[in-house]
Structure 1
Amino acid sequence: MVDDFLTRLPKAELHLHIEGTLEPELMFALAERNAITLPYADIDAARAAYDFRDLQSFLDLYFLGMSVLVGAEDFHDLAMDYFRRAAAEGVVHVEMHIDPQAHLARGVPLAEVMDGLVRACDTAREELDLSSAMILAFLRDKPAEDAMALLEQAKPFLHHFSAVGLDSAEQGNPPSKFRDVFARARELGLARVAHAGEEGPPSYIREALDELDVCRIDHGVRVVEDMELMERLADEGMVLTVCPLSNVRLKVVERLEDHALPRLLDAGLMITLNSDDPAYFGGGMRDNFAACQTAFGWSDDTLRWLAGNAIEAAFMDDTRRTELLTRLASA
């Protein structure tokens, strides 16, 4: 990794799906460990499959890759593989969405998932000075009753989670479908975030605000289609966790140069940059920052401001936040 400003810039990643960090090399290694046959001849064939038409075609491959995650060590190795790559490119804090429903459906106990991930988070803090937070994500294409059941099943592990989230196929699955689940999460003291306005319409962003009482919108880029809503987000200081390279790979925009990001910044929105599913979307945090700098001609000061937004909005204690903001100021 080149030692440059973008690498030294301390970056907090607020929108990451830990299952989406599974690189083909590790996928094959875990498949061998667990005696699982993959539908690819080799690693190069797997990489060639990472060409998506839309969100659903990505999700098909995403859930296939997940099949190699069976035991606690698999989840530990998955997270540590990502944490090491992230730390090498200047990431200092990671907030990871976890999709337990996809694992429970395969017969993988939640205790196995949590054991591996919690140990990896502890190791990353001790060895890499990388702090982390976990987000319990609900699959929005599943019934809301399933999400409520997961929330209750996860009670023994809730002290490890900072928030609940909503992800997976957005079209036809409005946030309001999960109103009761998010109300229960609020009763349990959990913060709330939700994917909205990626493939779904701006109205889904409004629903996430009004029906789910979220503190962050994941993606949110289609807000540019609703000027009144965009003004509301700016006035309320609502954080958007935007994933530029993901948006290009999933055809939300054809080219990064066509992305709404400059308009969102000009409108005064609280924007952060994130990688989403870096193994599948062509790059981690440094790559996303670099791509935006090239596409939009952003200055180092703008990138520092974006990095600061993420640190300010992160689920972390005040001591860690002050420490990271101090490091940011001297970057």
Structure 2
Amino acid sequence: MTDLDSFIARLPKAELHLHIEGSLEPELMFALAKRNGVSIPYTSVEDVRAAYAFSNLQDFLDIYYAGASVLVTEADFHDLAMAYFDRAAADGVIHAEIMFDPQTHTDRGVAFDTVIRGLLSAMAGAETKHGMTCALIMCFLRHLSEQAAFETLAMAEPWLGTIAAVGLDSSEVGHPPSKFARVYAAARAKGLKLVAHAGEEGPPEYVHEALDLLHVDRIDHGNRALEDPVLVERLAREGMTLTVCPLSNLKLCVVGDLADHPIDRMLAQGLKATVNSDDPAYFGGYVADNYRAIAAARGLSQDVLATLARNSFTGSFLPPETIARHLASIDAYLAGS
């Protein structure tokens, strides 16, 4: 391990953009398929990894939903999330805000309660085992209808005290944020924070809609906002956090080469960019892998990496006093490194 690798691994950080279903490693996929008697269209771990040659977001989503079919019981969701928390803790993550897609499971007959009980038990395990704090972000699948999102929000009603925010993911192009303005207003009225994927494959206008119609607290991805200078100035002025995912951007061809990734350009323009892993089992790396890859590709200094880590806490949904404590831990780490 190089000095930079060690610095990144031990740098205190939060992860704000992680789809828990996207942390399903092929080995666990096979184990759960066997445990639950679920047939999957692959004969080996190697077959699964070979299928991870995506050319766009939809190619990825097709295999993502196929893999999720092995998640059936509360124990499955616990094991999935606990495997992620173990990896994240090894990467220096001390707070994780994880996204989950209930419709992926309820639409195939798995109860909402089964999903969330498994995730919550793993979150409790992560706190006990690693001292990690966690929050849940319930995402609506944007390729489904507004009515389906409202039905999911209704299913979540008994659990709202355990859910920090709602999000919007899945196929972006052709499904603008405006489609979900009313359900976001309902979620906001229930006291939930709001995030949304915007400006990954969709145009800058989708970022405008997420801000103006959904009134989000955070933008997931946001890369294409850079095409609109007025939007960039607004995002900087409002201190809007962007949850950027470098290896995901590369794998899904949002950027052709990490050497061309705009992460440091975002920072230079005053944007509160963060580094996250998105769907690490599919995109080839957890959060420290993303830090290492982008640091190497863009020649980022330790100070820049520390700025990205600071942004991950200031952009989180933690209370201000907890954020201040985590920022102090980064300062202490830098002083001793």
Q: How does 1:34-113 map to 2 (within 5 A)?
A: 34-113=36-115
What displacement does 1:320 show?
A: 3.2
Amino acid at match of 1:295: A
Q: How does 1:1-331 map to 2 (within 5 A)?
A: 4-331=6-333
Amino acid at match of 1:87: A
Q: Contact 1:11–1:285 at 8 Å: present in 2 too? A: no
Task: Please report the RMSD computed on the Cα atoms of aligned residues, expressed in angstroms.
Answer: 1.1
Q: Contact 1:83–1:124 at 8 Å: present in 2 too? A: yes
Amino acid at match of 1:76: H
Deviations 1:248-299 (A, max 9, x none): 0001111011122222111111111100000000101101111111111111
Amino acid at match of 1:223: A
Secondary structure of 2:195's partner?
strand
Deviations 1:168-223 (A, max 9, x none): 00000000000000000111000100000000000000000000000100000001
Distance 1:319 1:88 in 2: 25
Amino acid at match of 1:42: S
Deviations 1:5-54 (A, max 9, x none): 11110110000000000000000000010011221111111111111010
Distance 1:271 1:263 in 2: 10
Q: Contact 1:15–1:97 at 8 Å: present in 2 too? A: yes
Percent identity at matched positions? 54
Deviations 1:119-153 (A, max 9, x none): 00001001111111000100000001110111112
Secondary structure of 1:166's partner?
strand
What displacement does 1:319 show?
A: 4.4
Amino acid at match of 1:262: D
Amino acid at match of 2:318: M
> Unpaired runs of 5+ in structure 2?
none
Please identify runs of 4+ aligned residues in structure 1 that moved more than 6 A: none
Distance 2:287 2:12 in 1: 10
Deviations 1:89-127 (A, max 9, x none): 111111111100110011000110011100000010011
Amino acid at match of 1:130: M
Q: Contact 2:261–2:298 at 8 Å: present in 1 too? A: no
Distance 1:220 1:323 in 2: 28
Secondary structure of 1:192's partner?
strand
Distance 2:240 2:323 in 1: 19
Q: Contact 2:95–2:134 at 8 Å: present in 1 too? A: yes
Of 189-198 and 2-11, more deviation after overlay is shown by: 2-11
Distance 1:24 1:168 in 2: 21
What displacement does 1:329 show?
A: 1.2
Of 260-269 and 146-155, more deviation after overlay is shown by: 260-269
Secondary structure of 2:109's partner?
coil
Secondary structure of 1:68's partner?
coil
Amino acid at match of 1:292: I
Distance 1:126 1:327 in 2: 20
> Unpaired runs of 5+ in structure 1?
none
